[in-house]
Amino acid sequence: MAVTVRRKGQYHIADCDAANAVGDMVRISADEIAGTYQVANLNIIVDDHDLPFGMIVEKVTTTRCIVQESGEVRGVYSGLTPGKQLFVDLSSRLTQVVPSRPATGIKWIHPVAQALSSEVVLLRVQVPVKIHA
């Protein structure tokens, strides 16, 4: 008999932008309001090393979302290579490609997940690395 370990995640209700979508990696952008986190897309180019707070896994309303901070996320992404580390890209989404060195300024490399299968990622935020032009 095979044993399957499920990595349960931490979920939070948050206020987000109307333009945010399921699969976006977000950071905490302001103080909580009435116990609700305020989030915005993670920008890997700004001179700021905010750690990602998590991934939007559901939009409850236009500006209210569910953010998963850790654990397995299923069915948000597809076509992933099992075992590959995943990073935040310029559009605040996950990519299997390590972000390249910027032409000017700085960029932050945020390793945030690993592909467990073609459609399952394990969120596990790590410390970002700053790269210069």
For residues 115-126, average pLDDT: 95
Q: What are phi and psi of 91, to 5 degrees?
A: -100, 15
pTM: 0.89
Residue 8: what pLDDT? 67
Helix (H) or strand (E) holding 106: strand 106-109
Q: Residues with Cβ < 8 Å from 131, sequence gap 6 or more?
A: 99, 101, 102, 106, 107, 108, 109
Q: Provide the 10 A C-beta neighbour count for residue 121.
A: 23
- The strand pair at 36-41 and 111-115 is best described as unpaired
Q: Tokens 């309001």 identify what position?
A: 33
Residue 10: what pLDDT? 87
Which tens digit of pLDDT belongs to each residue from 39-91? 999 999 886 777 889 999 999 999 999 999 999 999 999 999 999 999 999 99
Residue 1 half-sphere exposure toward CB, CA atoms < 13 A: 1
